[in-house]
Each structure stands twice: as structure tokens, then as C-alpha cells.
């Protein structure tokens, strides 16, 4: 059994991004704690929550968290959960091959809320947005985003959702690896 058996990461969808729900992370932490989650912490403003709970209580606790956040902002956010062992396995696999992030390249992982309706053939490419989905494993899609001519990067969430037919929430790969680093430092 992993030393992180009762540790989870919650990824809130469409939180603190342009045109979507705005939430203070202190309010998010408070909602998780009030729902009975332990050792709650957040990482950056995009809705990443690290917490502890027994496996049998996670679904009930997330229902309470969604209700508390709905009361706070008027809409019930989508919350996706992954275990720390799942995140460890994801990072260990180095899913981008030899591609590294840099000034002209960003790496993303899109976490799918359910099994994809369609399993597209990879790579999937959007030249206009500078996006290339290089692969999928379980309920994660791995995307390379290259700087466009206008200087901006394409954001892959809609691209991935259209390709696989289910909702997703996307995080920068550096966010995912930093969350894992935080968990390991706290252990």
C-alpha cells in the first residue's frame, strides 16, 4: 500500500480562468475542510486542492464540497479527483517523450471526467492553435502547445473535449509535477 493511500488531488474545472467562476483559494480550502477533508492545501489559483480522506468517504465529501461552493458562487463546480499514486504514475511515465517545455513550448495534461466517448488516433494536431495531442493513457490526454505567430499559446481544453467527446480540465505539466513535489515534501 502506498504511503499516500488516503491523499488526493482535486482539480476544479473552469475556476479562475477568463469568463468563468472566480473563487478565492481560501474559500475553496474552507469548503473542503468543512466537508470533512483533512490536511487541505491548495496550489496556485486554478483550483488545485490536495487533501486527505478515507477512500470510502471521498464521493460523499466531494458532494458536500460542491454544495458549499454552489452556495458561495451560485454554480456547482465540476471536481475531478485523482489519487496521489495515480499522479505519481503519470509523472513517472514521462508522457511527452523527449519534448521539453521551454520559451516556445508548453506541456499540458487534460484530465478527463470519464472514459472518452471516442478514442481518436494520435497525434491530433491543430495547426491554427499550435496544439498537438501526442497521446492518451487512461483518462489523461497529453498535449504539446507551441507558441503561435501572435506570440500566444493555444489552450488545449476545448480541443481535447471535442476530440474525445467528454469534459476535461487541463493543467500545465509543471503544475502537475509541482503538486507532486509539494505532497512529497509534506510526507
Q: Is residue 1 part of a domain?
A: no
Does the structure show a pLDDT above 80 at 111?
yes
- Residue 78 and residue 15 share a domain: yes
Residue 105: Cβ-neighbour burial (10 angstroms; 0-12, 13-18, 19+):
middle
Residues 26-78 pLDDT 10s: 989 999 999 999 999 999 877 899 999 999 999 999 999 999 988 887 878 88
Is residue 143 predicted with pLDDT exceeding 80?
Answer: yes
Together in a domain, 48 and 120: no
What is the total count of domains within the chain?
2
Does residue 2 sit within a domain?
no
32 and 71 belong to one structural domain: yes
Buried b (16+ CB within 10 A) or exposed e, 30-41: ebbeebebeebe
Same domain flag for 181 and 100: yes
**From CA 167, how far away is CA 180, in angstroms rounded?**
24
51 and 105 fall within a common domain: no
Question: Residue 24: pLDDT band by 50, 70, 90 thresholds?
Answer: confident
Domain around 65: 7-87
Looking at the structure, tell me whether residues 105 and 145 fall in a common domain. yes
Do residue 17 and residue 82 come from a single domain? yes
User: For 159, left (φ over 0), alpha (ψ -120 to 50), or beta?
Assistant: alpha
**Structural domain contains residue 100:** yes
> At what angle are helices 173-186 and 84-92 packed, to 10 degrees?
120
102 & 177 share domain = yes
pTM exceeding the 0.75 threshold for the entire prediction:
yes
**Of 22, 55, 87, which closes a domain?**
87
> Is residue 135 one of the residues assigned to a domain?
yes
58 part of a folded domain: yes
Question: Same structural domain for residues 147 and 70?
Answer: no
Amino acid at each position: 500500500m502506498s504511503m499516500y493511500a488516503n491523499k488526493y488531488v482535486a482539480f476544479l474545472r473552469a475556476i479562475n480562468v477568463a469568463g468563468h467562476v472566480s473563487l478565492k483559494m481560501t474559500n475553496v480550502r474552507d469548503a473542503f475542510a468543512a466537508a470533512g477533508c483533512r490536511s487541505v492545501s491548495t496550489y496556485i489559483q486554478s483550483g488545485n486542492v490536495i487533501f486527505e480522506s478515507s477512500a470510502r468517504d471521498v464521493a460523499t465529501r466531494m458532494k458536500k464540497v460542491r454544495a458549499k461552493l454552489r452556495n458561495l458562487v451560485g454554480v456547482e463546480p465540476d471536481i475531478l479527483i485523482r489519487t496521489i499514486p495515480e499522479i505519481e504514475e503519470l509523472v513517472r511515465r514521462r508522457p511527452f517523450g523527449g519534448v521539453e517545455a521551454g520559451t516556445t513550448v508548453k506541456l499540458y495534461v487534460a484530465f478527463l471526467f470519464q472514459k472518452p466517448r471516442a478514442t481518436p488516433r494520435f497525434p491530433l494536431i491543430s495547426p491554427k492553435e499550435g496544439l498537438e495531442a501526442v497521446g492518451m493513457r487512461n483518462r489523461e490526454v497529453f498535449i504539446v502547445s507551441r507558441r503561435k505567430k501572435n506570440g500566444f499559446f493555444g489552450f488545449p481544453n476545448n480541443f481535447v473535449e471535442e476530440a474525445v467527446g467528454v469534459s476535461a480540465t487541463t493543467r500545465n505539466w509543471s503544475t502537475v509535477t509541482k503538486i507532486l513535489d509539494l505532497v512529497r515534501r509534506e510526507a
